[in-house]
Amino acid sequence: KMFTDDDLFWPSLWRTFYFAGLGVPLGVLGSMALAILLNQKLKGISVYRTLFFMPSLVPLVASVVLWKWLLDTNFGIVNQTLIGFGITDPPGWFSDRRWAIPSLIIMRLWSSIGGTQMIIFLAGLQGIPEELYDACAIDGAGTWHRIRHVTIPLLTPTIFFNSVLGIIGALQTFAAAFVATEGGPGYATWFFSLHIWKQAFDYFNMGYGAALAWFFALIIVGLTIFQMRMSKRWVFYYGE
């Protein structure tokens, strides 16, 4: 039934993977770049770390309401700013099928780039031996050379860890889409987790909803195992 008779099965699964495939890399790269910037030995750096971490402390529902207001098609600050720069036809954001998922990704990045992923990257950066950077400085290596040949290779375990957690979290996205659009407009944000909830608790197809949940759990477990196997090809553990 789920593969043939459910018209929303494949589209909702595709939207979920599209959301994760676009949002997770942006989140991981953004949080890593921010962590590198905030890993400098500067006076008052802890204040900046705290400021960037604060958006992740905002409750999800409150952040969704805030972003719905910011991205309002007619009165939102974002569109009013774009109009001020001469863009006469700004995006519809949550009310436009083409922009609904990008809007959710922007909202997710706002809280994730400076959140837990950034803290994990900071911990990984502070675990890199200082003598490696000293050796690069003696060889005359510049900042980009040190980041490319020392920082990023030694951060691959942290990148892998954040990627796994990010993909699992993105695939399970439910509350943001439910509060912001309830799956709309025109099913544009009807993610698989929302499809499971609708089947089980809105349409009262409990058995079918449970079957969808088990199927989705198997997908997530399978993807996690695949990531762990592939990590042997690119994750570098210092000292091993």
Q: Which tens digits make up the pLDDT trace of 14-71? A: 999 999 999 999 999 999 999 999 998 888 899 999 999 999 999 999 999 999 999 9
Asked if residue 164 belongs to a domain, the reply is yes
Asked if residue 13 belongs to a domain, the reply is no
Q: What is the CATH number of the domain that holds 164?
A: 1.10.3720.10
The residue whose two tokens read 């436009």 is 96
Q: Which tens digits make up the pLDDT trace of 60-102? A: 999 999 999 999 998 999 999 999 999 989 999 999 999 999 9
Asked if residue 57 belongs to a domain, the reply is yes
Asked if residue 174 belongs to a domain, the reply is yes
Q: Region 93-122: what's the mean pLDDT? A: 93
Chain centre distance of CA 23: 4
Per the structure, how many domains does the chain have?
1
pTM equals 0.93
Q: Return the CA Rg of the chain.
A: 21
Per-residue confidence band for 111, with pLDDT thresholds at 50, 70 and 90 = confident
Q: Both tokens of residue 76? A: 């939102």
Q: In 10 A of CB 56, how many CB atoms?
A: 17
